Chains A and B, each alone.
Chain A
């Protein structure tokens, strides 16, 4: 009974750490705002929202709020620019890492990552297509999301039609459909106008959280929660899946159904993340492994650990991305730059076999 307690402790530490990191990130930015106005704006907005909700019952609540001691720019920075972006980077990091952990468990493959079944390739194709057709950013996001789901659905149907070992055919079908869509993306890049569309596609493919807005967060959070909650609740069953289908059956778990559900949820959160952020590789592959080093292979702890670690990692990297230079650095580039050396250091440490 030694291990679970330690796992729980680690999770608590990670949770606290994430909260601290969120506060620190809120203080960081290119526009100088001191903590006072920052907290003032947030409190003001929360009171306003709460007051608005309570106004029908207590009319006095409608006028709740703090007299502004900040200017309009500070309010825009704190509430419209910084906060939605922090939330979005946490959500995306959490989702990608959780999806990676889930795929790794379901497919029994340490190299599995959220793009295994072609979800990111499909999203890239959808986004490139929307850019080619001149859509605005919301249409690009929706198109990326739909094509992402479509790709995985296609892979799944193909694997159903094909015989043989189900997991293997699913992975193969995912790779095939994914490569089909990435060829489609290349074709779109070829025909896109190099003076405006091509740089836009290229920028999208690099992955970025720049320009995150409240309605983007609102749009993404629904599918993300729909996917994350079942994964959190099903995490014990993922443990059983790793033993193999026969053992799972003896333990009263329908492996096929659980696998389907986990794949469905993981795909949903991957699609939602990639649609709002573009291609951010690396997080989904490596963060689950790092979490494994911290809490072990038990999915009861691994799943929440991946969620917390993923959120914290992407938030920290995004802080670098928006603070290091005057220009935004696409976060998809930075995740690998920051993460890979750390990972290499971790696996080459003496006396600590992976």
Chain B
């Protein structure tokens, strides 16, 4: 009886091992070619700093070849203040999360060896299939996450980019990952005002200064243009609400990080005691909406915008009764900024034209198409544009 049990135990463990083995074996077979292609990269990566093990007095690994007269590496200080040694010529990069992915994709799509998250399924009809079907490596959450480090090494990037707001402990986590994998993990700060600056930094890092300048200019021009239009509007700024949620009863309040673009193009009527920093905003109710009495309401793409016209409750709001509301465009991401990334720029342009058609008298289609060409590397047909904005 006992031997039988031991046998059963052995069997299960054996099956588990095989299961793991098969999966590993079948998927890893194509990797050696990639490995061969990427072999020059890792040797240039900072090998000396790569020792987490004891033995502090260890000499550096390859002392045979000191720096030749033309160094293959450069020093780079990222936005957490860490100085890293990087290859001079960078051709292969990976990203740490969805925000980095959108920002970096605009600048250097051909350098991405993989993405961290699958693209929004809606992006398939716009994106180049080669980019849409990039391998997915998974996202980092702090120092851990779905990102399989061996898979990352097999993909062979020369560095991993983390773009966005820096967390307090980011430097230490990124340092640990750099040490563990031998691949430099680099953080670049970015938010709506500093996206242009972030692009310039990325451009100098990746040797794509010209392309980065175009993107940075677009960001800054759009921002400046919005400010200019708002100057023309002057005291005619409209009182706005941005409502979301499946009942339309969540609101992005004044002062919220996610409401930046609302305050840029109008006056956010939602004043609450403690604005939530969450992308889902603060919860509210219809009574409060009546009290705020906004002049214009924007509904998020997945909210109740399509139904309010026939809803007697919503009809009590002046803005709804008079038809002063719109549904925010979505494609491939939410233009109102969730995740808060570059698709906010066409969002700003759309908002301006929706709210102030007289002052913002540009052709929105060609503006949006320019954004798609620059940031998503594809042209937007008028039909596709209609689908997103219409």
Distance (whole angstroms) from the CB of A298 to the closest CB of chain B: 13
Q: Contacting chain B: which of A100-108, A227-235, A324-332?
A: A324-332
Contact A195 B142 (CB under 8 A): no
Interface set, chain A 292-331, CB cutoff 8 A to B = 293-294, 309, 312-313, 316-317, 319-320, 322-328
A138 within 8 Å of B (CB atoms): yes
Q: Do the beta carbons of B47 and A203 come within 8 Å of each other? A: no
What is the total of A-B residue contacts with beta carbons within 8 Å?
220
User: Which interface residue of B23, B27, B153, B277 has the most chain A CB atoms within 10 A?
Assistant: B153
- B364 close to A (CB within 8 Å): no
A40 CB-CB contact with B under 8 Å: no
For B61, what are the chain A residues with a Cβ–Cβ distance below 8 Å?
A: 68, 72
Q: Does B87 have its Cβ within 8 Å of any Cβ on chain A?
A: no
Interface size on A, residues (CB 8 A): 75
A137 and B148 in contact (CB under 8 A), knowing A80-B179, A194-B278, A214-B52? no
The 8 Å CB contact of A81, one of B139, B168, B180, is B180
* Stretch with Cβ within 8 A of A (4 or more), from B3-11, B122-130, B308-316: B3-11
Q: A52-B57, A211-B149 are in contact. Are A21 and B279 (CB under 8 A)?
A: no
CB neighbours (8 Å) of B9 from chain A are: 14, 17, 290, 294, 309
> In the bound complex, do residue B16 and residue A320 qualify as a contact, i.e. CB atoms below 8 Å apart?
yes
Are A208 and B144 interface neighbours, CB within 8 A? yes
Question: Complex Cα distance A107/B47, Å?
Answer: 52
Interface digits, A68-103 against B, CB 8 Å rule (1 contact, 0 not)? 100111011101111000000000000000000000
In the complex, B389 has a CB within 8 A of chain A: no
B182 in contact with A72 (CB, 8 Å):
yes
How far is B151's CA from A135's CA once the two chains are assembled, in angstroms? 26
- A100 to chain B: closest CB distance in Å? 17
Q: Are B176 and A32 in contact (CB under 8 A)?
A: no
B151-176, CB < 8 A from A? 151, 153-154, 164, 167-173, 176
The reply to whether B17 and A323 contact each other, CB–CB distance below 8 Å, is: no
Interface membership of B141, Cβ < 8 A: yes
Among A263-301, those with CB < 8 Å from B are 290, 293-294
Contacts of B135 in A (CB 8 A): 326
Which of B31-39, B195-203, B211-219 binds A? B31-39
**Are B23 and A31 touching (Cβ within 8 A)?**
no
- Say yes or no: B5 contacts A324, CB within 8 Å: no
Q: How far is the CA of A347 from the CA of B364 in the complex (A)?
A: 67
A210 touches B147 (CB 8 A): yes
Q: How far is the CA of A73 from the CA of B154 in the complex (A)?
A: 9
Complex interface: chain B residues within 8 A of A294 (CB): 2, 5-6, 9
Question: Complex Cα distance A324/B54, Å?
Answer: 33
A134 beta carbon closer than 8 Å to chain B: yes
* A316–B53 touching, CB < 8 Å: no
In contact, B138 and A327 (Cβ under 8 angstroms): yes
> Complex Cα distance A325/B153, Å?
15
Could you tell me if A10 and B6 are in contact, using CB atoms closer than 8 angstroms?
A: yes
Q: What is the distance, in angstroms, from B115's C-beta to the closest C-beta of chain A?
A: 11
User: Contact partner of A80 among B12, B52, B338, CB < 8 A?
Assistant: B52
- Contact B35–A323 (Cβ < 8 Å): no
B42 within 8 A of A: yes
Please tell me if the beta carbons of B145 and A210 are within 8 angstroms of each other in the complex. yes
Which segment of A22-30, A112-120, A150-158, A165-173 sits at the interface? A22-30
Residue of B nearest to A52 (CB): B55
Residues of B within 8 A of A320 (CB): 16, 19-20, 23
A338 near B: Cβ within 8 Å?
yes
- With an 8 A cutoff between CB atoms, is B137 at the interface? yes
Residue pair A72, B148 in contact (C-beta under 8 Å)? no
What chain A residues lie within 8 Å of B12 (beta carbons)? 342
Q: A195, A203, A214: which contacts B338 (Cβ < 8 A)?
A: A195
A199, B169: Cβ atoms under 8 Å? no
Q: Which residue of A lies closest to B44 (CB)?
A: A72
Please indicate the chain A residues that have their CB under 8 angstroms from the CB of B39 in the complex.
71
Residue A250 is within 8 A (CB to CB) of chain B in the complex: no
Contact: A137 with B182, CB < 8 Å? no
A 213-265 contacts with B by CB, 8 A: 213-215
- Closest residue of chain B to A312 (Cβ to Cβ) is B13
**Also in contact, A211 and B144, with CB within 8 A (given A30-B27, A316-B17, A326-B27):** yes
Interface residues of B in 58-95 (CB under 8 A from A): 58, 61
A136: which of B42, B43, B167 is its contact (CB, 8 Å)?
A: B167
Which chain B positions have C-beta within 8 A of A48? 53, 55, 58
Tell me whether B20 and A31 are in contact (CB under 8 A): no
Q: Are B149 and A316 in contact (CB under 8 A)?
A: no
CA distance A203 to B145 in the complex (A): 7
Q: Which residues of A contact B340 (CB under 8 A)?
A: 195
**In the complex, what's the smallest C-beta–C-beta distance from B283 to chain A, in angstroms?**
11
Shortest distance in angstroms between A296's beta carbon and chain B's nearest beta carbon?
Answer: 9
CB within 8 A of B279: which of A135, A193, A203?
A193
A6 CB within 8 Å of chain B:
yes
B143 close to A (CB within 8 Å): yes
Does B363 make an interface contact (CB < 8 A)? no
Residues of the B chain whose Cβ atoms lie less than 8 Å from the Cβ of A125: none
- CB pair B141–A200 under 8 Å, yes or no, is yes
Contact yes or no, B138 A326, CB < 8 A? yes
Interface presence of B146 (CB below 8 A):
yes
Contact across chains for A72 and B154 when beta carbons are under 8 A apart: no
Provide the bound-state CA to CA distance between A136 and B146, in Å.
17
Known: A21-B13, A215-B52, A326-B137. A137 touches B24 (CB 8 A): no
- Sample of 16 further A-B pairs with CB below 8 A, known A80-B179, A131-B142, A193-B279: A28-B17, A48-B53, A52-B58, A73-B182, A77-B153, A81-B149, A81-B181, A136-B169, A199-B139, A203-B144, A208-B145, A211-B149, A213-B180, A294-B2, A313-B13, A325-B23
Interface positions of B (Cβ within 8 A of A): 2, 5-6, 8-10, 12-13, 16-17, 19-21, 23-24, 27-29, 31-32, 35, 38-39, 42-43, 45, 47, 50, 52-55, 57-58, 61, 97, 135-139, 141-151, 153-154, 164, 167-173, 176-177, 179-182, 276-280, 338-340
Q: Which 3 A-B pairs have the closest CB atoms?
A: A136-B169, A137-B143, A319-B20
